[in-house]
Structure 1
Amino acid sequence: MEKPSASSDQEMERITLHMDTHTKALMQRAADARGLCLAEFVRTSAVAQAPRLLSQITATRVSHDDFCRVLDAIENPPTPMDDLVDALR
């Protein structure tokens, strides 16, 4: 099995991954189909999925109508309630 190449300024770290026999066999077949060793297949798959997952948890999706209502509220804010005006004085 070939070790991933690392540039001289990048330190490689090891992780341990446990999985059941069927999952390992499935992943090994997929790795073989791509011409990769299992470790490289797992690494490249995880790296490809990470940005997508992170964008899903950091982005807020709203409907078109809700987006328009937010923009309208920003452009035409409601008049502040008397209690709020009094509290800010």
Structure 2
Amino acid sequence: MKTIEEAAKESAEAYEELRLGKLCVKKFVEGVEFAHKWIDVKDELPDENEFVLCKMKSNDAIVGGYIQSTNGRLEVLTLPNFEFEDCMNYEPISWRPIEYK
């Protein structure tokens, strides 16, 4: 698998003759970093009923679920057929949307 930098350089080769190669590499890397960003639950919450990836406070485990606020405390609700032991009451610290193709 290519690194982000290798893929960026390969993508930018077509723009070298226009002297845009370095800019293309920079923008490619910025785009990848943005796409991989986790959103802190203190900054923003997903839409209600949006199934997202959640990073858990207890052990940085990543689970899919729905984030909801109960009595001022955030928790992740998982699908009925998924069991996950969490010593901190399913409390999320960050989330990111799931891209479906």
TM-score, scaled to structure 2: 0.29
Q: Which has the higher helix share?
A: 1
Question: If the length of structure 1 is used for normalisation, what is the TM-score?
Answer: 0.31
Larger Rg: 1 or 2? 1
User: Which structure is higher in RCO with an 8 Å CA cutoff and minimum separation 6?
Assistant: 2
Q: More strand by proportion, 1 or 2?
A: 2
